[in-house]
């Protein structure tokens, strides 16, 4: 039994999810004729109190389409220095949309409305790139699954309104954040012009993301998705997994968070661990003690069939998910105890 804690993307569909996929009614979605895709899109839009949604093969593509939607070439978006859209989307903002990223030196991937204000360019100065978009990430990936304060997001929304900036949420793990903070999808729906969510992370789907927004934005997003090569055909088989996940895999996320917290609290007790970052959701970031070699630590666990990520400079990451059971947790804690 391999315990794979590399990411929450490593999960396999449950039996119930596979059944839903097997029984899906499908059609050619490029013709807008896949009833299951339409149902998923309507469900997601409704959940967030928005008008429309669009199904995507990946979260990266959903974010990239959102950036294209809200910007013109030569303009600038504002994001945190740790943002996925800047660090992990292959330079897509510049490649796909011709925009630069103005990076905020935030805390755990999050920043303040004041910092946004300080980073908006002067429209009257012809030397400066025009700021047109602010993107935030909730929960933050590189920030160890940290979650935003709704009031700070509301203040940023006000800044965006005043300065006529679009506001996009990269919500790859938004449901983890919502469960951890007892916030609602509609509260986020009210704040953002567009929201991307991943079905393929904590929600346990094999594939799939959604972009959620106004009817007008989603209509334009459909054209851009086609341009980016993201139109798919009988993809209702995959959308069915998404509907199933929204119905069955959201409320259970607190179990992943509970297991993550338990791992963190045990790690903290070992002398071979230097520091464990606070755990809010399903991501645990920790550092091995100076005398411990990071890759040796990863390899020792791998030899015991436990896979975790070494992030360099003694930093390591564990991500809990739907396929990580209490039995696996027990084994992990036992192996950690005997590791050094
Ligand atoms: C995973 C992730 C994405 C999108 O990833 P895909 O692998 O393209 O689906 C976007 N933003 C964040 C913060 C992520 O963690």
pLDDT in tens, 165-176: 999 999 999 999
Q: Is the CB of 139 under 6 A from ligand 1?
A: no
Give residue 32 CA to ligand 1 midpoint distance, Å.
25
- Phi/psi zone of residue 167: left (φ > 0), alpha (ψ -120 to 50 degrees), beta? beta
Q: Is the CB of 60 under 6 A from ligand 1?
A: yes
Give residue 61 CA to ligand 1 midpoint distance, Å.
9
Give residue 249 CA to ligand 1 midpoint distance, Å.
18
Q: Is the CB of 70 under 6 A from ligand 1?
A: no
Q: Is the CB of 7 under 6 A from ligand 1?
A: no
pLDDT at 243 (0 to 100): 98
Give the list of residues 6+ apart from residue 190 with CB closer than 8 angstroms, or none: 49
Please report which confidence band the pLDDT of residue 15 belongs to, taking 50, 70 and 90 as the band edges: very high
Residue with structure tokens 């949309």? Answer: 97
Mean pLDDT confidence for 90-118:
98
Give residue 59 CA to ligand 1 midpoint distance, Å.
5
Q: Give the residue whose CA is nearest to atom 1 of ligand 1.
A: 172
Q: Is the CB of 170 under 6 A from ligand 1?
A: yes
Measured distance CA(213)–CA(221) in Å, rounded: 9
Task: State the Cα angle at 93 between 87 and 97, rounded to 5°.
Answer: 175
Please report which confidence band the pLDDT of residue 1 belongs to, taking 50, 70 and 90 as the band edges: confident
Share of the chain above pLDDT 70, in %: 100
Q: Is the CB of 84 under 6 A from ligand 1?
A: yes
Per DSSP bridges, beta strands 76-80 and 131-137 are: parallel
Q: Give the residue whose CA is nearest to atom 5 of ligand 1.
A: 59
Please report which confidence band the pLDDT of residue 285 belongs to, taking 50, 70 and 90 as the band edges: very high
Q: Give the residue whose CA is nearest to atom 2 of ligand 1.
A: 172
Torsion, CA 239, CA 245, CA 250, CA 256, rounded to 10: -120
DSSP H or E segment with residue 307: strand 306-307
Q: Answer positive or negative: Cα dihedral of 324, 329, 334, 338.
A: positive
- Taking 90 as the threshold, does the pLDDT of residue 235 lie above it? yes
- Alpha-carbon Rg for the chain, nearest whole angstrom, is 20
Q: Is the CB of 172 under 6 A from ligand 1?
A: yes
Give residue 340 CA to ligand 1 midpoint distance, Å.
34
Mutate to test the pocket of ligand 1, among 92, 201, 285 (most ligand atoms within 8 A of CB): 201
Convert the pLDDT of each residue in 244-263 to its tens digit: 999 999 999 999 999 999 99
């Amino acid at each position: 039994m391999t315990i794979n804690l590399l990411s929450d993307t490593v999960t396999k569909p449950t039996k119930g999810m596979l059944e839903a996929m097997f029984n899906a009614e499908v059609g050619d979605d490029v013709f807008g004729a896949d009833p299951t895709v339409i149902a998923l899109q309507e469900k997601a839009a409704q959940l967030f109190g928005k008008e429309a949604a669009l199904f995507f093969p990946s979260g990266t593509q959903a974010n990239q389409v959102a950036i294209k939607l809200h910007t013109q070439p030569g303009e600038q978006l504002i994001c945190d220095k740790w943002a996925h859209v800047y660090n992990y989307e292959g330079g897509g903002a510049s490649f796909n949309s011709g925009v630069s990223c103005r990076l905020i030196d935030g805390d755990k991937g999050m920043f303040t409305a004041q910092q946004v204000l300080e980073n908006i360019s002067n429209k009257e100065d012809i030397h400066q790139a025009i700021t047109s978009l602010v993107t935030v990430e909730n929960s933050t990936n590189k920030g160890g699954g940290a979650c935003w304060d709704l009031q700070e997001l509301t203040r940023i929304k006000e800044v965006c309104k005043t300065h006529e900036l679009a506001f996009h949420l990269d919500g790859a793990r938004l449901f983890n954040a919502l469960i951890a903070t007892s916030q609602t999808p509609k509260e986020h729906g009210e704040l953002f012009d567009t929201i991307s969510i991943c079905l393929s992370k904590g929600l346990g789907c094999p594939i799939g993301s959604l972009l959620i927004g106004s009817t007008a934005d989603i209509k334009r997003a459909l054209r851009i998705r086609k341009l980016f090569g993201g139109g798919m055909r009988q993809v209702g088989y995959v959308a069915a997994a998404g509907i199933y996940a929204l119905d069955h895999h959201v409320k259970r996320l607190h179990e992943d968070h509970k297991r993550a917290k338990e791992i963190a609290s045990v790690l903290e007790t070992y002398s071979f661990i230097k520091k464990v970052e606070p755990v809010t959701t399903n991501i645990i970031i920790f550092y091995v003690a100076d005398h411990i070699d990071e890759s040796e630590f990863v390899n020792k666990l791998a030899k015991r069939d436990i896979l975790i990520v070494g992030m360099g400079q003694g930093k390591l990451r564990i991500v809990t998910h739907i396929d990580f059971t209490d039995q696996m947790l027990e084994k992990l804690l036992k192996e950690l105890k005997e590791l050094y």
